[in-house]
Structure 1
Amino acid sequence: MTTTTLKIGELSAHSGCPIETIRYYEREGLLPLAARSLGNYRLYGPSHVERLQFIRHCRSLDMTLEEVRSLLQFRDLPEENCEKINSLLDHHIDHVANRITELKALQLQLKQLRRQCHSVQAAKDCGILQGLANMDDEAVVNLGSHGGGCH
């Protein structure tokens, strides 16, 4: 990167991260507050770009903000022992494995539901709508913190 400072819009365009997300990461303490110009614009430097890229890489691996926060703390203390980092990643791998199991069960439920409607007909006769209306709570896959609610 040739520019030493970027305004928030430039950082957003450069990183692919929405402006509001950058501001959110600042509020959450994941991204240090930027210096301000005389016109009160946020000015970001190379360290902001690197940190934002790190955060985005972690988030692309479905890590929670708390997991990202922990990893950033270790990144900021490079002489620390990495045992807790290994433990954090092992825990996240277990979480992903559980999520895959949940998603496979969800896929099975959806396929079973889809088999309830074989032809185009009036919505009042749709087997999918009837199946959804009559599904008991025990039959619904537990999607933990990732689903089961609103999108």
Structure 2
Amino acid sequence: MSGSDVRVALAGAWRAVRARRVTHFPRVLRLVAALEAAAPTALKYRHRARLRLGLQAAVLLQMLREAQPEAHVRAAVERFFPEGGRGQEEPSVLEAQEGFRELVLELLQDPEQRDSYLRTPMEPIWTPMDPSGKRWLL
């Protein structure tokens, strides 16, 4: 892949994120992972963690909004936020991941709480990491 191919891919990913096209976020996540593997210092750790967590949270919330089968949502939770987290993450990131994981699993168990939560408007801005993991870039 040439430098211009990478720039085009990154521009497309940025456009999908800016336009909040959640259906494209899994592709953006794959691109972030590839970028991280190829050039680990291209993004600062904190920026990469916030971007990844925000995209993953948006995907999961979209799955809940679309009332996707519980098994699909649980599989995505396990893929994005495995129980116990990933060992290489900082404690604040692990705490945020666990908080969001618990929130999604609670919402799966209580349809009334899920409906109420999904009706709550979310601020579409970059916010500092919330240790509870309950508000992200959306």
Q: What TM-score, normalized by structure 1, do the two folds share?
A: 0.27
Q: Which has the larger radius of gyration?
A: 1
Query: Which structure shows the bigger proportion of residues in helix conformation?
Result: 2
Q: What TM-score, normalized by structure 2, do the two folds share?
A: 0.29
